C-alpha cells in the first residue's frame, strides 16, 4: 500500500512538473491585437519563392510576389560580421550563394555583392525587406548564429518597432523567446519546434527538451509553431492548453483542410492557397 501511494505521488509530481514546463504564456492585451491579424492567415515561407529558386527564397522578388497575392510572410534574420540585420536562412552561404562561409563571417559590404542562387537577386537587409513588405503581416524568425542572441534581439526589435504592429517573432532558441518575454511583452512571440529526431545540429538531450516543448517555462510563448508531423504527447498537451498554433511548412501534398481546422496560422510553400482560410 505504501509503495502504491509512493508511486502515485511520484506520478502526480512528475505530471505537474511536465505541465509546468510545457504551459504556454498568456497573451498580453497589446499582443492580442497582433494575434487577430494572424488568425486564419496563410503565410508564404521565406516569401513566395519557387521550388527551382528562380524566384529565390528570402529575396525582394519573393516578398513582392507574396505582397501581390495578399499573403502574410515568414522570413529569417541573423547578424552579419559587422552587426547588420540581414535576411537569410542558412548559417552557411553555400546552398544559396555558392560560397562555403558563414554569414556571420562576412561584413554587410561583402554579403551585399553576393547573388542568390545564380539570379540577379541579392541578400537584403531587414530594413530593405520591410520597405517592400509595407504593412504585410510578417513572422520574423531570429537565428542567433555566430553572434550574441541579445544583440540580434535588440537590433531586430528596434527595426521592427518602426514597422507598426503587424508582426511577430519566433525562434527555435528559447532564450530569444524569453528575451522578448522580458523586454517586449507586447510583441507576439512563438516557440518554433519539431520532433527531436528532426532537430538539426543539436545534440540529443537539448533536442529532446526542445522537441517536446519542455523549455516553454523559460519563454512562455504565445504561440507554438510546430513542424507538420506526428505530435509528441507533450505537444498535444500543450496544444490542448489553447495557445495560438502555427504549422510549418505546408506543401501541396498535405491535407490542407485538416490542418486548417487544427491551426490558427499556416506557413506554406510551393503552391498558392487563398490568402486566408478563416476569418
Which residues are catalytic, by number?
Answer: 45, 89
Closest CA to 76 of 85, 64, 66, 88: 88
- Compute the distance between CA of residue 117 and CA of residue 115 in angstroms, rounded to an integer: 6
- Compute the distance between CA of residue 77 and CA of residue 148 in angstroms, rounded to an integer: 13
- Residue 59, Cβ neighbours under 10 Å: how many? 26
All three cell numbers of 96: 544559396
Residue 26: partners with Cβ closer than 8 Å, 6 or more residues away: 220
- Mode of pairing for the β-strands spanning 85-87 and 72-79: antiparallel
All three cell numbers of 130: 520591410
- Compute the distance between CA of residue 270 and CA of residue 254 in angstroms, rounded to an integer: 12
Amino acid at each position: 500500500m505504501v509503495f502504491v501511494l509512493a508511486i502515485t505521488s511520484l506520478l502526480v509530481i512528475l505530471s505537474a512538473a511536465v505541465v509546468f514546463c510545457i504551459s504556454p504564456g498568456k497573451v498580453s492585451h497589446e499582443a492580442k491585437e497582433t494575434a487577430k491579424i494572424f488568425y486564419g492567415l496563410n503565410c508564404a515561407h521565406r516569401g513566395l519563392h519557387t521550388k527551382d529558386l528562380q524566384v529565390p527564397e528570402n529575396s525582394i522578388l519573393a516578398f513582392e510576389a507574396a505582397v501581390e497575392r495578399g499573403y502574410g510572410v515568414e522570413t529569417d534574420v541573423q547578424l552579419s560580421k559587422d552587426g547588420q540585420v540581414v535576411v537569410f536562412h542558412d548559417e552557411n552561404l553555400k546552398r544559396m550563394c555558392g560560397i562555403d562561409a558563414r554569414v556571420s563571417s562576412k561584413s554587410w559590404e561583402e554579403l551585399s555583392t553576393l547573388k542568390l542562387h545564380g539570379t540577379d537577386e541579392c541578400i537584403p537587409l531587414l530594413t530593405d525587406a520591410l520597405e517592400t513588405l509595407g504593412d504585410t503581416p510578417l513572422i520574423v524568425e531570429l537565428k542567433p548564429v555566430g553572434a550574441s542572441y541579445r544583440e540580434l534581439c535588440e537590433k531586430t526589435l528596434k527595426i521592427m518597432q518602426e514597422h507598426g504592429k503587424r508582426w511577430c517573432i519566433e525562434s527555435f532558441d528559447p532564450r530569444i523567446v524569453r528575451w522578448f518575454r522580458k523586454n517586449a511583452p507586447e510583441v507576439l512571440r512563438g516557440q518554433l519546434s519539431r520532433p527531436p529526431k528532426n532537430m538539426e545540429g543539436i545534440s540529443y538531450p537539448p533536442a529532446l527538451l526542445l522537441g517536446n516543448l519542455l523549455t516553454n517555462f523559460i519563454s512562455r510563448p504565445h504561440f507554438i509553431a510546430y513542424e507538420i508531423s506526428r505530435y509528441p504527447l507533450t505537444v498535444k498537451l500543450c496544444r490542448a492548453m489553447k495557445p495560438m498554433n502555427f504549422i510549418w511548412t505546408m506543401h501541396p501534398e498535405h491535407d490542407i483542410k485538416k490542418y486548417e481546422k487544427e491551426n490558427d496560422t499556416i506557413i506554406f510553400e510551393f503552391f498558392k492557397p487563398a490568402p486566408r482560410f478563416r476569418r
